[in-house]
Amino acid sequence: MANLRMANLRMANLRMANLRMANLRMY
């Protein structure tokens, strides 16, 4: 369970980073 939670947090962080990069590209 702990590993799954860490994996989910990692995926969430990557998703947020991708959104941030997309926003930087837009502006």
Tell me the residue type at 17: A
State mean pLDDT over 9-22. Answer: 93
Determine the pLDDT at residue 23: 86
pLDDT classification of 27: cutoffs 50, 70, 90: low
pTM: 0.57
The confidence score (pLDDT) of residue 1 equals 66
pLDDT given for residue 24 in this prediction: 85
Boundaries of every domain in the chain: 1-27
Q: Which two tokens stand for residue 26?
A: 């837009």
